[in-house]
A and B are shown apart, each in its own frame.
Chain A
Amino acid sequence: MRRFIVLALLAMGVVLLGWRAVYLQVFNTAFLKSQGQSRHLRSIAIPAHRGVITDRNGELLAISTPVSSVWVNPQELIASRAGIPALARVLDLAPDRVRRLLARYSGREFVYLKRHVNPDVAARVRALKLPGVYLMTEYRRYYPTGEVAAHVVGFTDIDDGGQEGMELAFNKWLTGVPGRKRVIKDRLGRTVEDVERIRASRPGKDLRLSIDKRLQYLLYRELKAAVIRHRARSGSAVILDARTGEVLALVNQPSYNPNNRRHLRGDRYRNRAVTDVFEPGSTIKPFTVVAALQSGKYRAGSLIDTSPGYIRVGRNTIRDHRNYGVVDMTHLLSKSSNVGATRLALSLRPEQLWGVFTRLGFGQVTGSGFPGEVGGLLMHYRRWHEIERVTMSFGYGLSVTPLQLARAYAVLANDGRLVPVSFVRRERPVQGRQVIPVHIARQVRRMLEAVVSRDGTGHRARVPGYRVAGKTGTTHKSTAGGYAEDRYVSVFAGMIPASHPRLVMVVMINEPTAGEYYGGAVAAPVFARVMTGAMRLLDIPPDDNGVIETRARRAGRHS
């Protein structure tokens, strides 16, 4: 009997154990397995770096390099208070600030102490071996060109997201997708073994801009010098490739250093060449002439009487600097006669002028995709009063960005074809849209060469050895109560070499206060200085036949 009871109890024990085994192994297996794994398996992020931004020749404009960020677990660090002063010293923080931070977030397990520290600082933090102090890898963006390309490239915030410029426009393209992997960690959280990759990290793609770093630097230097020399409030300049519509250089003053943006106000970040508009003034006159030629009423040799040097339109009087008498189209442009432009405008139907301006892209964004780009203002002709119909012809009553003006001049440079503007390097040539007849574009280009001749208003834009076509502009700034008498915008828009234009450039200097304020005196010399260098850098052969021939003869004599 006793033996039977013992056997029965043992058998019951076996059954119970067996059942428990089945229960754990079969019914509860998933739960237990995940619990077990969660004690040593961890899934951690694989950081992905942001793509590099380069200029058109592959020169670096922005690059991400890994840096360390120091974070603490306050609950762990509070236990070893003694180490705080040493830690604060290494990180160059006030010990009290660290203590306050810890007190405030004592309930948390993750607080950034200092982000983006240098590798040597990170090494010193690691050497302190304080419990609860950790390092993590983050990326910091560096901009080797600094302030020179700041407005085009833009910058990222501390979390590596694009904030301005191309960094913002192509944020998605540049951003990498972090991956995840599973690792085995020991009790102290050290990675013992990599187990498997859950998702591969995909680094951000690189971006090649249309900018040429050499031109960018040259343009920046000369614009900055001009803004300082003329004590101007601000300035912008753009160089476009006439054939492809690519932006080769774009600069503004004032600029900023994207690598160190503390103590900076927001208005420095603005890319004025695409976000700020101005009244283009006389630089619009070539397009008035285009409209006149296109109407069929005028030919290049047509004569316009501008005497006596002023003209009354309604209650307003339009004036020239002096009485230019009877002029042809070329002289109208080279003397920059407002009366001549007015007479042209009055003889055209408003929609003819408006049609040309609209086809040249005024009043519309250029489609460059630059964040914050504005389209300027061009009122519909049905809403023009008589005075607007007239002022439009010499560039008041409409507003444009420097980039828009450059694009319109690129149409003249490109035999009447409008090519979309691009900040990204084009791999293939694009088919433009013919918006002005070829022969008219060429005629106006020849007229604009006269502006830059020895006795034209733009003579200071001359580049030795090259033919230059361009137009100066000087406009009074519009203020709340009309136009300011003593505040000007000085502009020059031009192209080179005029026989087969390769580059188009617009310089705009806002409120020069050092005495000179004419576009021909303030803006045109910037064109000459930049283009002299640009022709050499881009290896564009001179097209001024006189110069070439004499040189060739001289070279022959020497040999």
Chain B
Amino acid sequence: MGVVLVLVIGSAIAVIDAKHRSRKLFSQLQALKKQQDALDVEWGRLQLEQSAWARHERIERIARTQLEMKMPEAGDIVVIKP
């Protein structure tokens, strides 16, 4: 009888401990998830920003006006056949 009582109490405490640990890990997981979400958001924002800077229209405008680049004329192109 005494042995069973000890075992029962022991297992009860183990359950409490397991539950506690699971909650701790879960809240850790949630914190990490939150972090992941935040990083996702930032990544999305950065992608948007990058695509805004990399708009073809903008690149072309800068290439033509600031860098004074132009398309090579047909006569300027040399094709080297292997």
Contacts and interface: CB of A to CB of B under 8 A. Distances in A.
A195 interface: yes
Contacts of B51: 59-60, 144-145
Interface string A8-30: 00000000000000000000000
B77 interface: yes
B23 interface: yes
Contacts of B40: 49
A551 B81 CA distance: 10
Contact of A465 (B37, B52, B79): B79
Q: For this complex, into which size category does the number of interface residues on chain B fall?
A: 20 to 34
A480 interface: no
A194 B30 contact: yes
A542 B72 CA distance: 15
Contacts of A142: 48
B80 A66 contact: no
A60 B48 contact: yes
Contacts of B5: none
B80 to A, nearest CB: 6
A401 to B, nearest CB: 27
A555 interface: yes
Nearest to A193: B27
A66 B23 contact: no
B47 A60 contact: yes
Contacts of B56: 213-214, 217-218
B48 A63 contact: yes
B78 A66 contact: no
Interface in A302-322: none
Chain B facing A: main interface SS: helix
B10 interface: no
A144 B53 CA distance: 10
Interface residues of A, number: 31
Nearest to B37: A66
B74 interface: yes
Interface string A204-231: 0000000001100110010000000000
Contacts of A218: 56
A548 B44 contact: no
Given A63-B47, A144-B48, A465-B74, A552 B79 contact: yes
Nearest to A221: B57
Contacts of B47: 60, 63
B41 interface: yes
Contact of B27 (A66, A144, A194, A214): A194
A196 interface: yes
Interface in B18-61: 23, 26-27, 30, 37, 40-41, 44-45, 47-48, 51-52, 55-57
Contact of B23 (A65, A193, A542): A193
Contacts of B48: 60, 63, 65, 142, 144
Give the interface SS of chain A, mostly helix, strand, loop or mixed: mixed
A541 interface: yes
Given A142-B48, A193-B23, A65 B41 contact: yes
A163 interface: no
Interface in A185-200: 193-197
Contacts of A464: 74
A33 interface: no
Nearest to B27: A194
Contacts of A197: 26
Most buried by B among A63, A142, A194: A194
Interface in A373-419: none
A465 B26 contact: no
Interface in A107-152: 142, 144-145
A221 B58 CA distance: 13
Nearest to A183: B30
B26 A217 contact: no
A63 B26 contact: no
A262 interface: no
Contacts of B26: 194-197
A555 B78 contact: yes
Given A63-B48, A195-B23, 18 more contacts: A59-B51, A60-B48, A60-B51, A63-B44, A63-B47, A65-B41, A65-B44, A65-B48, A66-B37, A193-B27, A197-B26, A214-B56, A217-B56, A217-B57, A542-B79, A547-B74, A555-B78, A555-B80
Q: Closest 5 CB pairs between A and B?
A: A144-B51, A464-B74, A194-B30, A217-B56, A555-B78
